[in-house]
Amino acid sequence: MVANAGDPDPDDMPASRRELRESLQALERNMSTMITELLKPINSQLKDINQTLSQKISVLQDLSPETLQRWKALKPITSLLTKEGIRYKWVSYCKLQVNFQGTLLHATDLDSGLKLLQELQLQPPQNLPVEELPRHRDPVDVRWRTIQERRNPGGKRD
């Protein structure tokens, strides 16, 4: 499995932080499912409207510029996976996931994407972009630091 060097090991986290992380990840999955369910009737109505109009209307979930930038940077990887008939999906918007022989492989940037291709024994595409992406931050870690800063402004100890 390809892992990010910046991803904390869940076993090294305090139990409360691990529980918080798992809760936030479950909430994120539930929210994604809820959004999909909310869009179903709208898309159904749009399908009816599209059949009567000459122009097609689509409703899509808004994506952040960082997400779109990551998708664009990993486009050579996803194109090769598609060409080779390997199914993949986007997890948490910024993480590419491939299920290969029962093992989940992940990539969040070009380096981890190349490692993923190596695990799949695929030749990387020619002329890969050398564009540096902003480092993916774990939303739990960012929120945790923000809470700590609010509780202890300026790093002062009680």
Q: What is the pLDDT of residues 89-124, one digit of tens each?
A: 888 767 889 988 888 898 888 888 889 999 998 988
Of 95, 84, 70, nearest in space to 121 by CA: 84
For a pLDDT cut of 90, what percent of the chain falls above it?
A: 8
Pairing of strands 95-100, 88-91: antiparallel
Question: With 80 as the cut, is the pLDDT of residue 149 above it?
Answer: no
Residue type, 65: P
CB within 8 A of 98, min separation 6: which ones? 81, 86, 87, 88, 104, 105, 106, 116, 120
37-47 pLDDT per residue, tens:
888 888 777 77
* Residue in 64, 69, 37 with CA at minimum distance from that of residue 139: 64
pTM metric for this prediction = 0.46
pLDDT in tens, 63-88: 778 778 888 888 889 989 999 999 99
Categorize the per-residue pLDDT at 30 as very low, low, confident or very high, splitting at 50, 70 and 90: confident
